[in-house]
Amino acid sequence: MTTEPTHLADLTATRLTAGYAAGEFSPVEAARAVLERAEAAQSATNCFTRIDADEALAGARESEERWRAGEPAGPLDGVPVTVKDLILTRGAPTLRGSRTVRAEGPWDEDAPSVARLRESGAVFVGKTTTPEFGWKGVTDSPRHGVTGNPYDPDRTAGGSSGGSAAAVASGAGPLSLGTDGGGSVRIPASFCGIFALKATYGRVPLYPASPFGTLAHVGPMTRDAADAALAMDVICGPDWRDWSQLGPAAGSFRAELAGPVSGLRVAYSPSLGWKVPIAPEVAAAVRGAVDTLAGLGASVEEIDPGIADPVEAFHTLWFSGAARVVQHLDDADRALLDPGLQEICAQGARYSALDYLAAVDTRMALGQAMGRFHSAYDLLVTPTVPITAFEAGAEVPSGSGHTRWTGWTPFTYPFNLTQQPAATLPCGVDGDGLPIGVQLVGARHADALVLRAAHALYEAGTAQIPAPPTPAGS
Give catalytic residue positions.
84, 160, 184
Neighbour count for residue 146 (Cβ, 10 Å): 21
User: In 48-133, at which residue ranges do the beta strands (DSSP E only) sit?
Assistant: 48-51, 80-84, 123-128
Cβ-contact 98, 141 below 8 angstroms: yes
Q: What is the spatial distance between Cα 278 and Cα 260, in angstroms, rounded to a whole number?
A: 31
β-partners of residue 195 are 222
Cβ-contact 97, 131 below 8 angstroms: yes
Q: Which of 248, 169, 225 is nearest to 440 (CA)?
A: 225
Q: What is the spatial distance between Cα 433 and Cα 428, in angstroms, rounded to a whole number?
A: 9
Contacts of 323 (CB under 8 A, 6+ apart): 344, 345, 346, 347, 348, 349
β-partners of residue 148 are 156
Residue 211, Cβ density class (10 Å: 0-12 exposed, 13-18 middle, ≥19 buried): middle
Cβ-contact 60, 31 below 8 angstroms: yes
